[in-house]
Amino acid sequence: MFVSRKSLPRRAVLRGLGAAASLPLLDAMFPALTPLAKAAAAPSLRFGAVYFPNGAIMPQFTPKTFGSGFEFTPILQPFEPYRDNLVVVTNLTRSHPGSQVGDHAVSAAGFLTGIWPKRTEAEDVFANTTIDQIVAQQIGQQSPLPSLELATEDFSGYVGGCSPGFSCAYMNTISWSSPKTPLPMETNPRAVFERLFGEPGTAGEQRSRLVKRRSILDSLADDAKDLERELGPRDRARLGDYLDNVREIERRIQQSEARSVTEVATPEAPLGTPDTFDEHVALMFDLAAAAFQADVTRVFTFMMSRELSQRTYPQIGVTEQHHSVSHHQNNPQKIAQMVKINTYYAELYARFLAKLHATPDGDGSLLDHSLLVYGAGMADSNGHASDPLPVVMIGGGAGKGARHVEVPARTPIGNLWRNVAERFGANVEQFGDSTGKTNVLA
């Protein structure tokens, strides 16, 4: 919405229609896309966290040996080309206080939070500020969008399909801007595109739209104050969130206005949500890569699919639902199917890595200037195991690559997030249930 772009003549719009059928949609525009912050001397480090649901078959995920000479396992095979940029971390655990029953809600909500979320279906949801948001607090203000949250599954088709006793919010997002504030994840590529690059229109139209929107935001505060006067404390607190959001959007608009002197050719908008999972995931990754490249945001999270997902993957020969395969009951056939799914996800993610690797950024590539987490909040899925979690850190930000690091058994994942926070200059004393700080990002 906030990046100004060259006016698109009618011809271009029509041409765009013809091109729209060939996917991935954004491929065509990549060469044309130039970073906004051209003048920046040293490229800044980006952060991304990509989540896959329903756990993994750990023996096929975790390399057999530690250190640098490890062999790639079947599930990690797609990452082999990025060996020198990659650190596998083994033995992390999500929070599991006492005898609490772990399931899918606490896996999604426990991964980037490092905490056991409060069991409730009501408004008193409580988790923890996630690592991506800690990073966003640190570096997010330097770009129009502090962070971008992406997903693929429209969860409105999963009513009643959440973990018993846990609010659906715990499963619908992996990103929380405060312990009480789950950040909704966007599944519609078109909407993501418009947030990143603006609604259709000429540069002049976009600029006047920004001006109008700013004046609306100014004026909305008065409406909110009217309400505030009448409301009780509980409702006032909810409205407080609203006003914070209004202020945050004002900041973004100011940033965009300041930047709009740079005109940049942006891609054609994608036309909606693709009907295959493959295309949808590819498009979301493309948008994240484009956002990094144009420096619209430096932080993103992406839930490739949702915990408890009922998706089937006939394209790779898995016709049973993901969740039901994941409870494999040690049946070798089901385990093999689960490995297929885990590998397939890694392949989809590796395509994104390839794109970042191929995109120049300052003195290196976007991959060189990123710290990317790939993993899940569940280990073996049969019994919802909380450890050892599948976690891979990729990108120049991970430090020396080609390592398989073994941390002490059941190291809270918060210890790793403290390490990540430090990497971005944030000093976090305690992250969820952390008991210390790993030194993985050497």
Query: Using CB under 8 A, which residues numbered 112 to 151 contact another protein?
Result: 121-124, 149
Q: Is 237 in the site for another protein (CB under 8 A)?
A: yes
> Is the CB of residue 344 less than 8 Å from the CB of residue 91?
no
Number of helices (H), then strands (E), in the chain: 11, 11
Tell me the C-alpha to C-alpha distance, in Å, between residue 379 and each of 54, 60, 254, 386: 8, 12, 44, 6
SS3 at position 226: helix
Among 30, 137, 158, 316, binds another protein (CB under 8 A): 158
Q: Is 234 in the site for another protein (CB under 8 A)?
A: yes
Among 182, 395, 396, 432, binds another protein (CB under 8 A): 182
Q: Which lies closer to another protein via its Cβ, residue 220 or residue 402?
A: 220
Listed in order, strand segments (DSSP E) in 201-353 are 299-303
Exposed, middle or buried by CB within 10 Å (0-12, 13-18, 19+), for 329?
exposed
Among 107, 128, 187, 419, binds another protein (CB under 8 A): 187
Among 34, 154, 435, 439, binds another protein (CB under 8 A): 154
| Closest distance of CB 58 from another protein, Å | 15
Per-residue binding letters, 252-291, with another protein (x by CB under 8 A): x------------------xxxxx----------------
Q: How many residues bind another protein (CB under 8 A)?
A: 98
Write out the binding residues for another protein, residues 329-348 only, by CB under 8 A: 329-331
Q: What phi and psi, each to the nearest 5 degrees, are found at residue 85?
A: -115, 20
Q: Exposure pattern of 213-250 as b/e (b: 16+ CB <10 Å)?
A: eeeeeeeeeeeeeeeeeeeeeeeeeeeeeeeeebeebb
Among 195, 280, 298, 355, binds another protein (CB under 8 A): 195
| Closest distance of CB 410 from another protein, Å | 15
Q: Which lies closer to another protein via its Cβ, residue 83 or residue 118?
A: 118
Q: Is 354 in the site for another protein (CB under 8 A)?
A: no
Q: Is 11 in the site for another protein (CB under 8 A)?
A: no
Q: Which stretch binds another protein (CB under 8 A): 26-34, 64-72, 228-236, 420-428?
A: 228-236
What is the length of the chain? 442
Q: Is 177 in the site for another protein (CB under 8 A)?
A: yes
Q: What sign results for the dihedral spanned by CA atoms 335, 336, 337, 341?
A: positive
Q: Which lies closer to another protein via its Cβ, residue 32 or residue 216?
A: 216
Range 214-223, long-range pairs (CB < 8 A, 24+ positions): 214/250, 214/253, 214/254, 217/246, 217/249, 217/250, 217/253, 218/250, 220/246, 221/246
